[in-house]
Amino acid sequence: MNRRLLSFFLIGVILFTFTGCDTKKSDDTFITRTSYMLNTIVTINIYDSTDESLLDGCLDLCRKYEELFSRTIDTSEIARLNRGEITEVSEDTAELIEKGLFYGELTDGAFDISVHPVSSLWDFSSGSENPSLPDPALLETALKKVDYQKIGLQNQTVSFAVEGMGIELGAIAKGYIADRIKEYLTEHGVKSATINLGGNMLCVGTKPSGALFRIGIQKPFADHSQVVGIVDIDDLSVVSSGIYERYITVDGKQYHHILNPSTGYPYDNGLVSVTIISPESADGDALSTSCFCLGLEDGMKLVESQPDCYGIFIMSDGTIHYSEGLEEQFQIETDLPVYASRTVSTLLPIPVSRASATVRAAMASTTTTALGTITGS
């Protein structure tokens, strides 16, 4: 395995792409296309081709899969399945459901694609003027319909053991779509590109000069321009799940969108975010959410059990933990001391809400330039 460089200045989870000031001119020349779909900003950059029809093809794939997987598009397969209108789904939808069920087994239900009856009761949209919590009685009823083990999948036929069950693929779909876009690009001869789907970044190869792609990780609860982590990667995926992008505040308390299928309320385990580096973006997508749901200890065990996958966990007390083996596969550069094989201390063990000014003052500035902004999972 080729050694890849990981430069980490600590904290943050939202992803950016960068061009360094020392890269060759050919690396700064690329074709690009940006669109709003999949409920986020999608940006495709291609560095070794001038064929803009490839960009159109990438966005067409996004539309195709959104029309299959979205639970909010009335005509999608998932929406129709949830309404009981169909039982037969496409090969792609069946494949994604199968992967979701796999992660349900892997996490003993902490990751559960049958959470739809519960998630549909919550509104985390930023446009909500008067956010409110779900009715407790409705939530209690919905919880009885949540259990991934009661989803049947036989080839492309889906069944529910309990009436009113439904599927939510939002925690894994973008990763799957990114992998399909990468397949499309490589089949058309592209060897250098970035696929940016919200909190999911997937790189195709390296830059034309051989330079690695630089992926910035944003500080939680900070402005999108405040990047305090840099990962230099080659042909890998970087996916983050966190509590800082989609949440509501009710009576002074924040409620984020990563829901516990056992309680119907957001997980409260001290984690702020989990970032996963992996070969496949679908696995990174599912793992980032799964590890978040499991919490630091069990989440760390999970990512360490997966081949060629690495995790970075940020806690609400200001500490950052990385999975075993990450330091062996990547060169880690940090201004702060490494206190244990799996833990790097942040500047101060303080809540994120109080860390911003302190961290900003102490961190060395980076000389990179942001090309695009994407939101977290």
Which pLDDT score, from 0 to 100, does residue 223 have?
Answer: 64
Per-residue exposure over 113-130, b if at least 16 CB sit within 10 Å of its own CB, e if not:
bbbbbbbbbbebeeeeee
Residue tagged 């062996």 (tokens): 328
- Gyration radius (Cα) of the chain, Å: 20
At 376 the pLDDT is: 36
With a cut of 50, list the residues of the chain below it in pLDDT.
1-21, 331-377
Domains of the chain by residue range: 4-64+172-373, 66-160
Residues 6+ apart with CB under 8 A from 4: 212, 232, 233, 234, 236, 329, 330, 331
- The tokens describing 103, both together, are 């992660």
Dist. CA 335–CA 347, nearest whole Å: 10
Q: What is the pLDDT of residue 17?
A: 45
pLDDT of residue 226: 63
Q: Which of 314, 352, 127 is nearest to 222 (CA)?
A: 352
User: Whole-prediction pTM value?
Assistant: 0.83
Encoded amino acid at 341, one letter: S
Distance of CA 272 to the CA centre of its chain: 13
Contact status, residue 214 vs residue 368, Cβ threshold 8 Å? yes
Q: What is the pLDDT of residue 317?
A: 83
For 4-64+172-373, give the CATH class: alpha beta
Fold of the domain built from segment(s) 66-160:
T-fold (1.10.3980)
Alpha-helix residue ranges (DSSP H) falling in the chain: 53-69, 77-82, 91-106, 116-119, 136-143, 173-187, 281-304, 326-329, 352-362
Other residues' Cβ atoms within 10 Å of the Cβ of residue 371 = 18
Which residues lie closer than 8 Å to 242 by C-beta, 6 or more apart?
13, 14, 199, 220, 272, 273, 274, 292, 314, 376, 377
pLDDT for the residue numbered 228: 52
Question: Which H helix or E strand runs over 249?
Answer: strand 247-250
Q: Tell me the per-residue pLDDT of 276-333, one tens digit each, with 9 for 90 and over.
A: 999 999 999 999 999 999 999 999 999 999 999 999 898 888 788 889 877 666 544 4
Let me know: does 66 contact 37? Beta carbons within 8 Å: yes
pLDDT for residue 336: 36
6: helix, strand or coil:
strand
